Amino acid sequence: MERPLTVLRMSLYHPTQGSAVFATVPQRLQHDTSPLLVGRGLDTHLQLHLPRLSRQHLSLEPYREKDSALLAFSLKALSRRGCVWVNGLELRFLEQVPLSTVNRVVFAGIQMVVHVEGGASLEAFVCCVHVSPSPLIYRPQAEETDEWEDIPKEPPAPGSEPPVPGHLGFLHGPSPTADSSPQPGTGGGTDIQLQRERTDGALC
């Protein structure tokens, strides 16, 4: 009996170049357990047409954890000139991080969401790719007012500084770079969130 393959369901989006960036990306790709390369080079498995990308910008690398019968994956940054953001963590050249079930990745303005669906096969995995017409990752805009505004406030004591309103429920992320404009800014009180699009079954 053939063992089911692990499936990576990948959604891709670029805010200005649109689907032209992903014109040569296959909707379905079966790959062995060697690293799957992403970049603008002809030798990559997922070739993206964007000048800002390195020829090999990042790789998805399958591996087997101890005492596990399923494939696990890590993402490695391969670009010397640009960084990659994975779930809010900045990766520089040759840095890598394990992937979880749902992962938010940003590089060179491209937004990528990767869902990992485990399978029993250790010889290969499948990528199912969906090009999204709308953003996958967004940053809530700062509000001019907040929920505390309607609560009466006592006047400050003479000579004291007025209180600074706080925003609760957000995580602070690292500062944005030129290659990661959708990322949260330091002190901005923002959190990367996913936008609902299609059900997982519609991605492939």
pLDDT in tens, 157-184: 566 555 444 433 333 334 444 444 444 4
The predicted model gives 115-129 an average pLDDT of 92
Range of lowest pLDDT (86-95, 109-118, 165-174): 165-174
3-state secondary structure 89-107: EEECCCCEEECCCEEEEEE
Compute the distance between CA of residue 78 and CA of residue 76 in angstroms, rounded to an integer: 6
The single-letter code of the amino acid at 106 is V
pLDDT at 144 over 70: no
Compute the distance between CA of residue 147 and CA of residue 107 in angstroms, rounded to an integer: 34
pLDDT above 90 as % of the chain: 55
- This prediction's pTM: 0.67
pLDDT above 70 as % of the chain: 67
Q: Which of 142 and 79 is assigned the larger pLDDT?
A: 79
Compute the distance between CA of residue 3 and CA of residue 168 in angstroms, rounded to an integer: 46
Which pLDDT belongs to residue 158? Answer: 61
Residue 41 C-alpha from the chain's centroid? 21
The single-letter code of the amino acid at 69 is A
Range of lowest pLDDT (60-74, 97-111, 151-165): 151-165
pLDDT digits (tens, 9 = 90+) for 12-54: 999 988 889 999 999 999 999 999 999 999 999 999 999 989 9
Sorted by where each begins, the domain ranges of the chain are 5-131
CATH class of 5-131: mainly beta
The predicted model gives 60-73 an average pLDDT of 89
pLDDT band at 185 (very low <50, low <70, confident <90, very high): very low
Which pLDDT belongs to residue 159? Answer: 60
